[in-house]
Amino acid sequence: MPVSDSIGPGPFCGMLFSDMGADVIRIDRKGANAGRMSRLEIDRRGRRSVSLDLKRPESVAACLALCEAADVVFEGYRPGVMERLGLGPDEMLKRNPRIVYGRMTGWGQYGPYAHRAGHDINYIAITGALDAIGTKDRPVPPLSLVGDYAGGAMMLAVGLLSAVLHARSTGQGQVVDAAISDGSSYLMAAFYGLRAQGRWQEQRAANLIDGGAPFYDTYRCADGRFIAIGAIEPQFYSLLLEKIGLAGKLPNEQMDRAAWPAIKATFAEIFATKTRDQWVEIMGDADTCFAPVLTADEATQDPHNVARSTFVEIDGVRQPAPAPRFSRTPAAIQASGTSAAVRSLLQDWGLPQQYVDQLADTAKV
């Protein structure tokens, strides 16, 4: 599975496939990523990398030869770049009719924005997602999880796997156009449904699960740390009130939106009286839908994460373990991100000796 040089969702998708057992080769533009692929670049783990000068005919020929032996190739350039290099989907499918060609972009292969520059925040801005996330005063960028990784990498992975299944049953490959703007819009399906039902206000921090409800929000504790509450169901809410000393003291119904601001203020006052870890002790294992808000370092030491080996250490670097879990074919990190000797890599993939000889002297080892 060759994958071209890209950032964000492309490397993450490559990591995902590698962790699931695929042999993934990352093809970098020569000189573009000097010093990259180190053990610290976690999203580049588990696959070998070679740097090729794609302006040289022999490098282009080697890429095409690699793709003749591959099930999947995906890239993250703007529309038209791969065609100009002689590595577009038409050329690939001509040589390998079964290949699945993934195209990971922000705006997609066509449309008025297709050739614009952009990043995660721009792509999710036109979907309704960014407008719905944040405080009452302003939208807040949700890291790059919504766009690059959920709307981009994960949608690309699902598309590629679906197309591979089709290719194996029909012998026909195809192009997968994975636009982050499309994928992020798709993730908003349930919220568009709630809006159509009149159950979602177009106002941030005013709805059930956007921080508007007092029982679904974060609260600052006495030590400045935070806890997270998600007690939506009435039985969990009742138990929460009992644990924080408010049982029978709130006359309003849980879903009375008019009462939410006052209840939230009361919750804030109560949670501010104790430290985060004191609240952890008080809540115990009760079904209050409670959790402490942990830092990244704290997350690696959380007892649940430790029990499930959610984080692992590879070459001295703590990092997330593969997910999900498989009963028969468990996922595993194949290695840290490493460059590969061009000759051995091309030989492993069964390329003709002419390509091996030509590229061994010109490609970065």
Show which residues are catalytic: 119, 148
Please provide the distance, in angstroms rounded to a whole number, between the alpha carbons at the two ends of the chain.
19
Amino acid at 267: F
For the chain, helix (H) and strand (E) counts, in that order, are: 16, 12
**Residues in the chain, overall count:** 365
Amino acid at 130: L
For residue 125, give both structure tokens.
Answer: 């801005």
Q: Give alpha helix (H) positions in the chain.
A: 9-19, 57-68, 81-84, 89-95, 120-125, 129-132, 155-170, 180-187, 189-196, 234-243, 260-271, 276-283, 296-299, 303-307, 342-348, 353-362
Give the burial class of 330: count Cβ atoms within 10 A of its Cβ; 0-12 exposed, 13-18 middle, 19 or more buried: exposed
